[in-house]
Amino acid sequence: MKYVIIGGSAAGIAAAAEIRKQDNKGELTIISKDKFYYSRCQLHMVASGAASVDRVRLPHAGLEDIGIKFMAEKTVLGLDTAAKTVSLDDEQILAYDRLLIATGTKTFFPPLEGVSGPWTFGLRNLDDALAINEARKTAKNFTIIGAGLVGVELAAELVKTGVNVNLIELAKHPLPIQLDQECGDKCSKLLADAGVKLYFGNPAKVLHRRPEDSKPVALELTSEERIDTDVLICAAGVIANTDFARRAGIDARKGIIIDDRCLTNMPDVFAAGDVAEHIDTVNGLCQLTAVWPTAVRQGKIAGINMAGGTASIKINTGMKTAISVMGTHFISLGQICASKPQWCKHIFRNTDSRGDESIRVLYTDGKVLKSALLWGNVTDAGLYHEAIVTRRDISGDYLFLEGLDAAKRGKETMSIL
């Protein structure tokens, strides 16, 4: 059996390890644009110079030792599902019996006048992170479009290095998917106190560049305010890498559509990770779930099924975000931004002996926990996550909402809205 995996990251590597557990004889090849396997989750640290390339490099789990061929720095350009082959940028053609597409996503660059050109980056790959770090040697003013997870983490890291950091966001507060207004304002304060300049609810309009060498000079906002900008970083979303798959007739909307076994509409062609679109367990919508643990889970399921086993997706969600901003930890579970007015909002507040405030916001529909936001003290996050994804009935279990670890939190005040 010949297995080919396109993409050597969370989903691809998890699939390869699983295939090898089930089938120790098949020929197994991973093709990856990347030089090696690394953690994308820490790229903001590389961009700021806080982490070396070696620190984000991940062990291959001894892939070569278990007979897996890793073809690094190769790009798949074409797929022929009738001939069961993939074609590479170096003109090699590889045959497969079972194929996994685990190509992840690329940066979405907003359609903004002046956006394409030098000194404009995304933060998706190691090369992006190294380019931003290199830019720090000469540039002073860094402007980030998008205050989602990537934008906020990058802003918090870059500002520590002494450069000027501007953060632009369409919404009124950072992390609009994960935080409510109150915690969003707290997050804004943490960033602003650290020196990040915030421009919220004021979309970017034009990136002005110097005519002589195209270097950016200023980003103009819709309000016509101009922000000095030497480097523009776009962190306003991603696009799934589906190009060659679509051309080969694989069904895709925002991502490649997969069933519970991670199979696409084509026989023997599987997809997993950020590139794949599947029903989210929490909100019931078919969508991309661009988080690392889900990519690993889908990769494992695809690997088992590719090797002839049986596994299916039970829990699929990208709606768990754990983040630390300037030393304050918070976790958002479910979809805070999609909370409905008819849901019941429980708020627990506590201030510890050092004066640090923690807040827990829990939304229920009276029966089921829909989302949870833990600010400052993230105890019991696992418990709430389990309740959200399994949608179990928690009505009548008020102690559950209070949290099993209430003793660790001390005295809280509670309100129900």
Ligand X SMILES: Cc1cc2nc3c(=O)[nH]c(=O)nc-3n(C[C@H](O)[C@H](O)[C@H](O)COP(=O)(O)OP(=O)(O)OC[C@H]3O[C@@H](n4cnc5c(N)ncnc54)[C@H](O)[C@@H]3O)c2cc1C
Cβ closer to ligand X: 104 or 176?
Answer: 104
Q: Which of 174, 184, 273, 403 binds ligand X (CB under 6 A)?
A: 273
Cβ closer to ligand X: 172 or 247?
Answer: 247
Q: Work out whether 369 is an interface residue with ligand X (CB under 6 A).
A: no
What is the per-residue binding string for ligand X in 29-48, x denoting contact by CB under 6 A? Answer: --xxxx-----xx-xx----
Count other C-beta atoms under 10 Å from residue 134's C-beta.
12
The residues near 73 (Cβ < 8 Å, ≥ 6 apart) are: 32, 33, 34, 35
Output the 3-class SS for 270-299. Answer: EECHHHEEEECCCCCCEEECCCHHHHHHHH
Q: Work out whether 102 is an interface residue with ligand X (CB under 6 A).
A: yes
What is the SS3 assignment for 217? strand
**Choices 2-10, 155-163, 250-258, 362-370 (CB under 6 A): range interacting with ligand X:** 2-10
- Which one-letter amino acid corresponds to residue 35? K
Q: Work out whether 76 is an interface residue with ligand X (CB under 6 A).
A: yes
Cβ closer to ligand X: 6 or 307?
Answer: 6
Find, among 219, 236, 232, 53, the residue nearest to 150 by Cα: 236
Cβ closer to ligand X: 256 or 369?
Answer: 256
Q: Work out whether 316 is an interface residue with ligand X (CB under 6 A).
A: no
Cβ closer to ligand X: 321 or 358?
Answer: 321
Token pair 């809205």: residue = 417
**Choices 92-100, 202-210, 291-299, 329-337 (CB under 6 A): range interacting with ligand X:** 291-299
* Range 359-382 burial, b when 16+ CB lie within 10 A, else e: bbbbbbeeebbbbbbbbbbbbbbe
Q: Which of 5, 8, 119, 234 binds ligand X (CB under 6 A)?
A: 8
Q: Which residues pair with 279 in a beta bridge?
A: 286
Q: Which of 17, 18, 63, 105 binds ligand X (CB under 6 A)?
A: 105
Which tokens hold the place of 358? 């923690």
| Separation between Cα atoms, residue 377 and residue 410, nearest integer Å | 11
| Separation between Cα atoms, residue 343 and residue 365, nearest integer Å | 5
User: Of 193-252, which residues contact ligand X (CB under 6 A)?
Assistant: 241
Which tokens hold the place of 355? 């004066």
Cβ closer to ligand X: 102 or 361?
Answer: 102
Cβ closer to ligand X: 18 or 220?
Answer: 18
Q: Which phi-psi region, left, alpha or beta, contains residue 19 (left: φ > 0; alpha: ψ -120 to 50)?
A: alpha
User: Of 122-181, which residues contact ligand X (CB under 6 A)?
Assistant: 123-124, 149-150
Backbone dihedral angles phi then psi of residue 152, each to the nearest 5 degrees: -70, -45
Q: Work out whether 319 is an interface residue with ligand X (CB under 6 A).
A: no
**Choices 7-15, 62-70, 190-198, 346-354 (CB under 6 A): range interacting with ligand X:** 7-15
Residues that bind ligand X (CB under 6 A): 6-12, 31-34, 40-41, 43-44, 75-76, 102-105, 123-124, 149-150, 241, 273-274, 290-293, 295
